[in-house]
Structure 1
C-alpha cells in the first residue's frame, strides 16, 4: 500500500505539470550523505525541466567542462552518457539533456569523471541531484515580436503604385512639351518677323523704312547745293 501511494503521488505530481518549460533549483550532494559535493560548484543553477505529454526531460549546464570528462545518468537500470546539447570551449561550458524517469522529490543519482591534468587529478564520483521542489516555476516564454506591417491606405497605395507610371509619363511628356514650347516660340518669332516684314512692306515696299523717301530727297537737295557751291568756287578761282 505504501509503494502504491508513493507511485500515485509521483503520477499526480507529473500530471499536475502542464506541457511547457520550467526552472528548478537543486544542490549536488555526496552519494553517502546529505553533505554538498565539491561538484556542486561545477553545475549552473537552476536547471530546466521540459514537460511534454507527461514525459519529463532535464537540461543542465556544466561549468569547468574540461574537468568533467564524463557525465552519466540513469538509463534502463544502468548509466549512460547524457546527450550534449551544446558546448562552448571559450567559456568552458557544455549543456546536457536527459530523461527524468522519477519525480523531482527523489534525488537523481549520476556519475561523473573528473580530470584536472595540471594537478594530476583523475577520479570517478557518484553524486546526487537534490531538487528544490518549492523553487519549481514555469519559465517565462518570450513571445516572438509581431511583424510590424504598415499597410498604406487604399488611396496612398494606389498613388504609390502609380508613381512609377506617372514618372514615366512625365518623362515621356517632358520632351514633347519642350518641343511644343519651342515650336510655339519659333512660330511666334516667325509670326512676329512676318508681321514686321508685312508692316515694313506696307510702309515702304523698297526699303521697309517709312522715312526713306524724305531722306533721299534731303540727300539729293544737299548734293545739288554742294555741287553748285563747288562749281561756283572753281569759277571764282579761275
Structure 2
C-alpha cells in the first residue's frame, strides 16, 4: 500500500510541476505581446476624443477641436498638434505638463477661418492627458470652464 501511495504522490508532483512550468512559459511568452512598443519616428494622424473630467463620456469641448490630431514622434518624444475651431471663443487651452497645466503653444492662427493650431508634448499617448479650456460666448454672457482628458487612439 505504501508503495502505491508513493507512486501516486510522485505522479501528482510531476504533473503539478509540469503544469506550473507550462503556465510560467505561457505568461513569459505573452508578456512581450501585451507591451506596446514605442512608435517609430515620423508624423502620424491620430484620432482622439475629448472626455469629460474623470469619465469616458465625450465632452462638449470635443466639437471645438478638429480630428485627427497630428502627432510627431522624434527621439522618443511625442508632440501633438490640434486645430482649435471657433478660436475666438476658446479663450484658454492648457495641457498638463509635469503635473502642471500649461498653455499649449500657439503654432499658427487663421483669422479668416477662425482657427488656430496649438501644440504640446505628451509623454505617454496611451494614457489620458489632462487638459483645461475656457469657452467664452460674449453675445449670451457665457463662460464655461472645462477640465477634460484627451484620449488618443493608437498610432
User: Considering the TM-score relative to the shorter chain, is it more than 0.5?
Assistant: yes
Q: Distance in 2 between matches of 1:41 and 1:74?
A: 20
Task: Give aligned pairs, total.
Answer: 123
Name the structure 1 match of 2:131.
110
Q: Distance in 2 between matches of 1:27 and 1:131?
A: 7
Larger Rg computed on CA atoms? 1
Q: Distance in 1 between matches of 2:60 and 2:98?
A: 28
Name the structure 1 match of 2:37.
13
Name the structure 2 match of 1:76.
98
Measured on the aligned residues, the alpha-carbon RMSD in Å equals: 1.6
Q: Distance in 2 between matches of 1:129 and 1:120?
A: 27
The structure carrying a bigger helix percent of its residues is 1
* RCO higher in structure (CA 8 A, sep ≥6): 2
Q: Distance in 2 between matches of 1:100 and 1:32?
A: 18
Unaligned 5+ segments in structure 1 are 137-238
Name the structure 2 match of 1:51.
73
Secondary structure in structure 1 of the residue aligned to 2:47: strand
Unaligned 5+ segments in structure 2 are 1-30
Residue correspondence of structure 1 range 118-197 to structure 2 within 5 A? 118-133=139-154, 136=155
Q: Distance in 1 between matches of 2:37 and 2:77?
A: 12
Is 1:94 matched up with 2:116?
Answer: yes
Structure 1, residues 90-134: CA drift from partner, whole Å, max 9, x if none? 1010000111112x221111000110101100121101111122x
Structure 1, residues 179-210: CA drift from partner, whole Å, max 9, x if none? xxxxxxxxxxxxxxxxxxxxxxxxxxxxxxxx
User: 2:109, 2:116 within 8 Å by CA — same for their partners in 1?
Assistant: yes
Structure 1 outlier segments of 4+, above 2 Å: none
Q: Distance in 2 between matches of 1:86 and 1:131?
A: 22
TM-score, with structure 1 as normaliser: 0.49
User: 2:54, 2:149 within 8 Å by CA — same for their partners in 1?
Assistant: no
User: 2:131, 2:148 within 8 Å by CA — same for their partners in 1?
Assistant: yes
User: 2:129, 2:151 within 8 Å by CA — same for their partners in 1?
Assistant: yes
Secondary structure in structure 1 of the residue aligned to 2:37: helix
TM-score, with structure 2 as normaliser: 0.74
Q: Distance in 1 between matches of 2:46 and 2:121?
A: 15
